[in-house]
Amino acid sequence: MGFSDARFDVNLSILFTELPLLERPAAAAAAGFTAVELWWPWTDAPVPAQRQLDALRNALRDAGTQLVGLNFYAGQLPGPDRGALSVPGEESERFRANVEVAADFAQSLGCTALNALYGNRVQGVDPAAQDALALENLTLAARAAHRVGATLLIEALNAPESPACPIVSAPKAIEVVDAVNAATGLDNARFLMDLYHLARNGEDLEAVIDRYTPLTGHVQIADNPGRGAPGTGTLPLEDLLDRLHTNGYAGWTGLEYKPGNTPSADAFAWLPRPQRATTAP
């Protein structure tokens, strides 16, 4: 797999953010990319106005970019307050209101991967109660994803940046994947393997790949330390992608790194332009 064989997409919620949202698909296309992913773009609006949904849909289509991954509503990202579905009260209600909206938007663009981020532990609330709420909401999300032919993704974050999040290891994320699949019987929940987050957690990345590739529905990369482009840190990302390929992974690899002090368009020197335009797995 390596860099030459991987199918890369660009996360437009962390790259090209120097531009307004509706200009980012065209900027990604100008940089040579044909596939993109997004966190939920409207952090204060789980149910945005139809004109906002239409405008983003049109921007993606006009640019010729395929949306291959979308987060459900998860509050303000990035940040330690990320995630909503296990937070009692207003945040989980926002998540529930967003589920069908996000699923329908994904379906309208042929997007088949929907990421649902767990919420932080809340002081004074029984963790078991939060986990029960999470499973209830993840069940709703899995059913909505199934309705539109999509996979539900469960991601492990990292403890240094999200110390109150309970999903900060690959085994814990897999535990949630298994619980959702058992609850729904749909078998459409999968692991989102973010190599940056796992590295920040100090996990053995080769062992994670060997053990969990069959349960992986999407991969994201950034170098560590720094969350920059490949080559700015110490992770052997090309070797790790090779290992994923050897273990049978043939899906998308999302570029979810910070561009540093340069314009986003200048943050792809590590990837030859012919390798940026990819087709669906």
Q: What is the largest CA-CA distance in the chain?
A: 53
Mutual angle of helices 205-212 and 237-246, in 10-degree steps? 20
Instruction: Name the active-site residue from 23, 155, 175, 238.
Output: 155
* End-to-end Cα distance, the chain: 13
Residues belonging to the chain: 281
Q: Is 100 assigned a catalytic role?
A: no
Q: Is 256 assigned a catalytic role?
A: yes
Contacts of 51 (CB under 8 A, 6+ apart): none
Distances (CA, A) of 245 to 2, 77, 113, 194, 232: 8, 30, 19, 15, 23
| 189 DSSP β-pair partners | 152
Mutual angle of helices 127-147 and 170-184, in 10-degree steps? 60
Which residues have a catalytic role annotated? 155, 256
